[in-house]
Amino acid sequence: MAFDYFKYLRKEKLPHMWCPGCGIGIVLKAMIRAFDDLQWEPADIAVVSGIGCTSRSPGYLNANTLHTTHGRAASFATGIKMHRPDKHVVVISGDGDASAIGGNHLIHAARRNIDLTYIVNNNNIYGMTGGQYSPTTPLGAKAATAPYGNLEPSFNLASLLIGAGATYVARAHVGNGRQMSKLFRDGFNHKGFSFIEVVSNCHTQFGRRNRMADPMNMIKWIGDRATPLKKWESMNEDDKAMNFPVGVLHHDKNQPEYTDTYDALIAKLKQSA
């Protein structure tokens, strides 16, 4: 039997709105396979996003889905999770949404170690608004607001999240959907805040301006640099800078999860009442 994606999809909404070859579709697929792996029921899953191409994902997923305001998905998700700690809450958004305007909610959700999985489709650009540079656009790359090449150093999202206290941090890339799905599954499974960056392609807005207008060009450019963490660690500094590690980058299983802590307080107060 072929894998049945449609349990988790709103079939009538397809084909989706994304450009031919856009990596977001690959991410969506990997999410579905991870849901299926864990046998999560659609009714028990909330998927929350901000604004952007990536943030249109929830609309295609058969789940409790919420397309919020730009950058604020984590805060809505926090409210959902606090009120229903028994449910699975996943955030998916773009690099701009997550790390530009949404950076604060992202790092605070990580700090609290609240049991959300935050997936960032990092295509190094503001796709939806027409290709302005994002906090992850490489130095020198062209963008709508970087006509002379981007002048701003970029975030290493994984480092940022580790610094913020996230207890599960992984990186996948669009060239390897199978690994992506596995990392999603591990992140979903992790009790606490999990963050998975997917290095992705926006050939339309990033690629077109940077000689990679074809999706496969970009996907290959990404795949060529993606290096398993162990191997990457053994590289010299120059090679490290040219490549990026993929896989589980950080995993701390011993930190208390926030809604657990809170509900323990409720239980304690109930007892003492």
Partner 1 sequence: MYTHDKDADVKFWAGNIVVAEAAVAAGCNFFGGYPITPSSEVAAHMAYLLPKHGGHFIQMEDEIGAMGSVIGASLAGAKAMTATSGPGFSLKLENMGFGYMVEAPCVIVNVMRGGPSTGLPTHPAQADVMQARWGTHGDHSTIAIAPAFHQETYMETIRAFNLAERLRMPVILLLDEVLGHLSEGVVPPKPGSFEIWDRPRPNLKKGETYYPYDTTNGDIPPFIPYFEGHNWHTTGLNHDKTGFPTTDPATVDADERRMIRKVLDNRDIIDKVEWFMADDAEIGVFSFGSTARAAMVAVKQAREKGIKAGLMRPVTIWPFPKDQVYKFAKQVKSMVVAEFNLGQLVYEVERSAKYELPVKRVLKTGGVPITPAEILQGIEEVA
Partner 2 sequence: MHYETRFSAVGGQGIILAGTIIADASHLQGLYAAGSPTYTAQVRGGPTKVDVVLDNEPILFPRAANINFFLSLATRSYNMFAKDLEPDVTIVIDPNLTTVPDEHRKKYTIYDVPIIQLTADKMGRMVYTSAVALGTWVALANVIDEELIRAALKRRAPKGTETYNMKALSIGIDYIKELQDAGKVKA
Partner 3 sequence: MSDQYPLKGTSKRKGITIEIDEVMCKGCNVCVEVCPVDALDMEGIGSRWQGYLAVIKDIEACTGCLLCELQCPDFAISVTVPDKKKKAAAAK
Tell me whether residue 216 or residue 265 sits nearer to a second copy (CB atom).
Answer: 265
Structural contact between residues 251 and 168, judged by C-beta atoms closer than 8 angstroms: yes
| 255 backbone φψ class: left, alpha, beta (φ>0; ψ -120 to 50) | beta
> Exposed (0-12), middle (13-18) or buried (19+): which is 2, by Cβ within 10 Å?
exposed
Determine the straight-line distance between the first and last CA of the chain, rounded to whole angstroms.
55
- The answer to the question of residue 147 lying near partner 2 (CB under 8 A) is no
Check residue 22 for interaction with partner 2 (CB under 8 A): yes
Q: Which of 40, 24, 32, 50 is nearest to 174 (CA)?
A: 24
74 binds, among Mg ion, partner 3, partner 2, none (CB under 5 to 8 A by kind): none
Q: Whole-number minimum distance, CB 32 to partner 3, in Å?
A: 9
Measured at the alpha carbon of residue 77, what is the angle toward residues 118 and 102, in degrees to the nearest 5?
60
Residue nearer to partner 2 on the CB measure, 92 or 170: 92
The item of ligand TPP, Mg ion, ligand SF4, none sharing an interface with residue 97, based on CB under 5 to 8 Å by kind, is ligand TPP
Task: Tell how strand 226-228 and strand 194-199 pair up.
Answer: unpaired
The answer to whether 61 and 28 are in contact (CB under 8 A) is yes
Which ranges in the chain belong to alpha helices (H)?
Answer: 24-38, 73-83, 95, 103-112, 157-164, 177-189, 215-225, 229-233, 237-242, 258-272
Residue 34: CB minimum distance to a second copy, A: 26
Using rule CB under 8 A, residue 122 touches partner 2: no
Closer by beta carbon to a second copy, 213 or else 267:
267
Q: Determine the interface stretch with ligand TPP among 27-35, 74-82, 125-133, 173-181 (rule: CB under 6 A).
A: 125-133
> Which stretches of the chain bind ligand TPP, using CB under 6 A?
51-54, 70, 93-97, 121, 123, 125-129, 134, 202
> Which stretches of the chain bind partner 3, using CB under 8 A?
1-3, 5, 9, 14-16, 18-26, 28-30, 33, 37, 174-175, 177-178, 181-182, 214-216, 219-220
> Which stretches of the chain bind ligand SF4, using CB under 6 A?
18-19, 22, 24, 53, 123, 127-128, 202-205
